[in-house]
Amino acid sequence: MRAICAAICLLASPALADQALPGWAVHDTGKSYDALVADTKAAVKEHGLIVVTQAGPTKAAAARGITIPGNRVIGVFNNDYAVRVLETSTAAMIEAPIRLYVTENDDGSARLSYKTPSFVFEPYTSQGGQALSDIAAELDQKFQSIAKTAVK
């Protein structure tokens, strides 16, 4: 059990996000973790998407007496995009909602990261073609706007 906890704590560590990961966008901010979570959810709504899912190990770990940095995955999408993606590739919908990742840094600041929608949907473009690529490009812009709003 301790090995599992150690693995979770290691995976939840923001240090891993410091590595340049292909297809990821990373936005640092001086905001606190709690402020960035709240501002990210508000920015999602402001830019026309919906928070569909949320998950994070921080509170559950604390309830078990384990302290880990703030860590929240926020899945976002909307029905318009769902219908449009399904028109191009049924398989691509496994990727929805697309996730935003808020992590707390050692200094108390927070970071917003995500895999770009173009990167997420790229494996399905052989089925979805240019229409799916166009949807992904729209979502890239939307996610960039969400991040810019959330971290300012």
Give me the pLDDT at residue 7, please. 40
pLDDT at 19 over 90: no
Written as six digits, the tokens of 15 are: 């240090």
Per-residue confidence band for 14, with pLDDT thresholds at 50, 70 and 90 = very low
Give me the pLDDT at residue 113, please. 97
- Arithmetic mean of pLDDT, 100-121: 97
The overall average pLDDT reported for the chain is 90
Written as six digits, the tokens of 149 are: 């709003």
Give me the pLDDT at residue 76, please. 98
pLDDT tens profile 52-87: 999 999 999 999 999 999 999 999 999 999 999 999
Under a CB-based contact definition with an 8 Å cutoff, are residues 97 and 76 in contact?
Answer: yes
Phi, psi at residue 32, to the nearest 5°? -70, 165
Q: What is the distance between the alpha carbons of residues 104 and 82, in angstroms, rounded to a whole number?
A: 31
Q: What is the distance between the alpha carbons of residues 29 and 128, in angstroms, rounded to a whole number?
A: 35
Q: How many CA atoms lie within 13 A of 5 on its CB side?
A: 11
pTM here is 0.85
pLDDT at 15 over 50: no
Closest CA to 102 of 77, 138, 149, 69: 69
pLDDT tens profile 21-51: 999 999 999 999 999 999 999 999 999 999 9
Q: How many CA atoms lie within 13 A of 70 on its CB side?
A: 21
